[in-house]
Structures are given as C-alpha cells and as structure tokens.
Amino acid sequence: MTESGRPRIFLVEDHAVFRAGVRAELGNAVDVVGEADEVAAAVELINERIPDVVLLDVHLPGGGGQAVLHGVLPHHPEVQFLALSVSDAPEDVIAVIRAGARGYITKTISGGELLQAVYRVAAGDAVFSPRLAGFVLDAFAHSTAIGPDPIAEGGGGPVGAGGSAGLDPELDQLSPREREVLRLIARGYTYKEVARDLSISAKTVESHVSSVLRKLQLSTRHQLTRWATDRRLV
C-alpha cells in the first residue's frame, strides 16, 4: 500500500478499451502502477514494481493468465492476483484459481463491486463470485472424497497457498459450515448478509471462504483437476 492507504494496482489485459474503462472506474481509489497487454511484459513489470494487486485477464496472448501467475508467484508470493474474464466457464475459473489467483470476477461486474473485490484481495481475503461458489459446490458435491492421488499432486503444482501437505484428506471435503456459506454466496448474498444470516461475524465468513479457496487450490478431487486441465481456448 502507498502512504495514502490506496492499494497499488497492476492491470494485465489485452484490450486497450477495457483497460481504459477499468482505470476510469477505479478512479482515484487506487494507484495504478502499470499496465501490460501480454504475458512476457506483464511478468517483467510485475516482478519489477511488485504491486499489491494484479488484475489479470484470463485470456491473454502468449500463454494466458496462468503463465503470468507462474512467472510471478514463485518470486513474489506476496503479490495478490484477481482474475477477470468475459467467460465464466469452470475450465477457465478453476484453472486460474488453482494457479494461485485469490479471486475471480467476470468483466460485467460494476465499478463499485470491482473496487470492493480489489480491496478484499489486497487485504489477503478471497473473492468468490456466486458462479465460483456454484462450481465449488458442484465439484465437492459427493461427500465421499476420492483418495489423495500422488500423481496428480506432482504435475502443475498449485502455488501461493501455504505449503501444507497435499495428503490431508480434509482438503477433499467441505465442512458443513463452508457448504452453508458457499450456498448463500451462490444465492447472491454478500459476505455481510451471509454473516447476518448465519449469525456469525464477517471475519468468520472470510476465514471460511479463504479455507475453501485453499481446498480449491490443493484438492485432488477429480472434477477440479479435470477442469483445471481442460483448458478451452476461446
């Protein structure tokens, strides 16, 4: 953060029109420290300027948003990524989350919501759209978890989340409370409304969501690994 408390933002997006639109919408609330329109330039500039939050387009010439995540997170794990895309297909969403993004929003999001998402990611929390919550509920639908698969652990490697062991069976299941939280988010509730509905604090909601994000990144559940590898190119 700068002295003024404004998060330092970096924009990675290949459509100049959309970049200009995001700049205008975020206005003075954030500090845009740089822009890039392709993977190589993005990786170089982000590693050089180390922003708080990177707004990352999933579909990017030169390897896609994932390539930027793989190029930055090993060197600067403190940089937070918020992915955005026109497509909300599970293959795109899950792949970029498992590569280390802290949240995912679609490009039709309003300016106010975008700003809120940026602040939340800057604070280290996860941003779950209703759609993403739905995907997670779908992927973790059957409570009988598939046993940990050491082969699946080896390839691709999720980054960014704490280095805990991948053999934790807890990772392949959602707790009843997490399920409740996700279901409310999928119904269109804000974190504040979820907290009120479940009579818990907003902080507790955020920790549940962060825990789900960790499971999403590390779980070896079949559907997640399939979504993450079924890259569609549109």
2 binds another protein (CB under 8 A): no
198 binds another protein (CB under 8 A): no
130 binds another protein (CB under 8 A): yes
In angstroms, rounded to a whole number, what is the distance separating the alpha carbons of residues 48 and 59?
A: 23
In angstroms, rounded to a whole number, what is the distance separating the alpha carbons of residues 143 and 174?
A: 8
How many residues of this chain bind another protein (CB under 8 A)? 30
Say which residues have a Cβ less than 8 Å from residue 56's Cβ, sequence separation at least 6: 12, 65, 68, 69, 81, 82, 83, 84, 96, 101
Is residue 186 within 8 A of residue 133, CB to CB? The reply is yes
**Residues 169 to 188 in contact with another protein, rule: CB under 8 A:** 176, 179-180, 183, 186-188
Q: Helix, strand, coil shares of the chain as percentages rounded to 5?
A: 50, 10, 40
Smallest gap from Cβ 79 to another protein, in A, equals: 25
134 binds another protein (CB under 8 A): yes
Nearest to 89 by CA among 22, 134, 53: 134
107 binds another protein (CB under 8 A): no
116 binds another protein (CB under 8 A): no
Q: Give the residue with the Cβ less far from another protein, 122 or 185.
A: 185
Contact residues toward another protein (CB under 8 A) are: 14-17, 59, 61, 86-87, 89, 108, 130-131, 133-134, 137-138, 141-143, 176, 179-180, 183, 186-189, 232-234
